[in-house]
Copies of this chain bind each other. A is one copy, B any other.
Amino acid sequence: MPDRESLDGDQLLLVLNALANPHRLRIIAALADGTNYVSQLARDLQLSRPLLHMHLQRLEAAGLVEGHIEVSDDGKAMRYYAVTDFAFGVDAAAIAEAARTLTKSEPTGRTKGK
C-alpha cells in the first residue's frame, strides 16, 4: 500500500464524486475482495449491466479501479476489474489546500462553459 496521495482540487473532486454513491462504494468493496468481471459483478451486486458499466467508468475515470481484458480458457473476452492502491486523508487543511487549485465554478473567469 502506497503512501497517502496528495491530489489537486479537480482530482480530489473527481474522486469524491466517484465515492459519493452507495452503489459505487459497494462495487469497490466487492472488488476489494478480489478481482471480478463485469457480468458476474452485476449479478453479485444485483445491478443491471449498463448501470454497473456506467458506475465502473466513473470509478475508473477517478483512478479508483482499473479494468483489463482477459481471454478465458474457452476464448471469451472478459473485462476484469480490480481496485487500485489509492489512499488519502481528508481534513479541513487538506481541503483548503486542494480548493486553491479548483478550476470549476470559480468566482471570476469561470470555466463553466455553459
A residues adjacent to B (C-beta < 8 A): 1, 4, 9, 12-13, 16-17, 19-23, 25-26, 28-29, 31-33, 45-46, 83, 85-93, 95-96, 98-100, 102, 104-105, 107
Given A95-B19, A99-B26: A88 touches B86 (CB 8 Å cut-off): no
| Top-8 shortest CB links A-B | A29-B99, A20-B20, A87-B91, A46-B107, A29-B96, A32-B96, A16-B20, A17-B20
Q: Are B13 and A95 in contact (CB under 8 A)?
A: no
| A16 CB contacts on chain B under 8 angstroms | 16, 19-20
CB distance from A112 to the nearest CB of B (A): 11
CB distance from A105 to the nearest CB of B (A): 5
